[in-house]
């Protein structure tokens, strides 16, 4: 599903448009010139459907899978997609350590499976990470993509800001969603103060598009959505939760 020129939604679970497996995050294909990347990978159970959607998009070969954070709904599918696409996996140093170890405990998968969020037996396979991303810029064809560190939902979380001709497009992972919603978890690395700082930082970017890890894509005036969460934190309140 093409959202704007060269940006396609290629995975989405029940918190979104239900294109692929129910447990998948939103994953986006970003193509420009002769290059393409994926932002997030889904949980792996929807990988075949995601590969079909990538094929249908008619994009150039995918060179990299950019992982926002190590949670299973975003990262557990990275190994299978990277292998099928011949792509590298790039992630923050924190997420890379979890991915390379295939550490289902550190990824929160073990606890989330016990809580019934994931089906039993969902694999979190050791996944080679070719590059550890910090605050840095990368290019996809002629498109510039900035990796932005933003902890709070989880440790070692990255967002990606694309300098797209339709306007700034923010791939926010699980930091902030449409209508200013957030996802604070009862996990050791979910941190309200860090999330408030991250939302403040992202809201200052005034993106036009907000392409979050779950829920509806926002295709215009996304800064207004981020301002809802930012203003709640400034009032020393909590923004509404995603789910
Ligand atoms: Zn998450």
List, for residues 97-151, the tens digit of each pLDDT value.
Answer: 999 999 999 999 999 999 999 999 899 999 999 999 999 999 999 999 999 999 9
Give distance in angstroms: CA of 174 to centre of ligand 1: 5
Average the pLDDT over 7-25 and give the result. Answer: 96
Q: Is pLDDT at 30 greater than 90 in this prediction?
A: yes
Rounded-to-integer distance, Cα 175 and Cα 157, Å: 8
What lies within 8 Å, CB to CB, of 157 at 6+ separation is 68, 69, 92, 95, 149, 150, 151, 173, 174, 175, 198
Token duo for residue 50: 């995601």
Per residue in 62-78, pLDDT (tens digit) is: 999 999 999 999 999 99
Token duo for residue 20: 């692929």
216 or 188, higher pLDDT: 216
Give pLDDT, residue 243.
83
Please measure the distance between the N-terminal and C-terminal CA atoms of the chain and give it in whole angstroms: 24
Give distance in angstroms: CA of 125 to centre of ligand 1: 17
Give distance in angstroms: CA of 145 to centre of ligand 1: 21
Query: Is residue 174 within 8 Å of residue 153, measured between CB atoms?
Result: yes
Average the pLDDT over 32-39 and give the result. Answer: 98
Rounded-to-integer distance, Cα 102 and Cα 89, Å: 14
Give distance in angstroms: CA of 97 to centre of ligand 1: 16
Q: What is the pTM of this model?
A: 0.97
Give distance in angstroms: CA of 173 to centre of ligand 1: 7
Q: Is pLDDT at 215 greater than 90 in this prediction?
A: yes
List the beta strands (DSSP E) in 174-224: 209-212
Give distance in angstroms: CA of 136 to centre of ligand 1: 22
Give pLDDT, residue 110.
93
Give pLDDT, residue 149.
96
Give distance in angstroms: CA of 34 to centre of ligand 1: 30
Give distance in angstroms: CA of 159 to centre of ligand 1: 12
Q: Compute φ and ψ for 97, nearest 5 degrees.
A: -65, -40
Give pLDDT, residue 188.
85
Give distance in angstroms: CA of 155 to centre of ligand 1: 10
Give pLDDT, residue 236.
96
Q: What is the dihedral angle through the alpha carbons of 4, 10, 16, 20, rounded to the nearest 10 degrees?
A: 160
Average the pLDDT over 214-221 and give the result. Answer: 97
The DSSP 8-state label assigned to residue 17 in this structure reads T
| Average pLDDT along the chain | 96
Give distance in angstroms: CA of 33 to centre of ligand 1: 31
Token duo for residue 88: 């590298």
How distant is the alpha carbon of residue 8 from its chain centre?
14
């Amino acid at each position: 599903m093409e959202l704007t020129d060269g940006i396609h939604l290629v995975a989405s679970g029940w918190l979104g448009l239900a294109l692929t497996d129910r447990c998948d995050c939103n994953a986006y294909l970003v193509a420009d010139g002769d290059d393409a990347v994926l932002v997030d990978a889904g949980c792996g159970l929807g990988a075949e459907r995601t590969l079909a959607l990538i094929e249908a998009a008619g994009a150039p070969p995918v060179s990299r899978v950019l992982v926002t954070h190590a949670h299973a709904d975003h990262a557990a599918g990275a190994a299978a997609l990277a292998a099928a696409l011949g792509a590298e996996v790039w992630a923050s140093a924190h997420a890379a350590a979890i991915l390379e170890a295939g550490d289902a405990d550190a990824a929160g998968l073990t606890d989330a499976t016990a809580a019934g969020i994931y089906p039993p037996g969902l694999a979190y396979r050791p996944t080679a990470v070719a590059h550890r991303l910090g605050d840095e810029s990368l290019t996809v064809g002629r498109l510039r993509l900035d990796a932005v560190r933003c902890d709070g939902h989880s440790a070692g979380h990255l967002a990606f800001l694309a300098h797209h001709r339709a306007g700034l497009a923010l791939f926010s992972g699980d930091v902030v969603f449409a209508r200013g919603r957030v996802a604070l978890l009862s996990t050791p690395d979910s941190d309200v103060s860090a999330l408030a700082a991250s939302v403040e930082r992202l809201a200052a970017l005034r993106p036009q598009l907000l392409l979050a890890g779950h829920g509806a894509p926002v295709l215009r005036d996304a800064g207004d959505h981020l301002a809802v969460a930012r203003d709640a934190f400034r009032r020393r309140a909590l923004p509404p939760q995603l789910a």
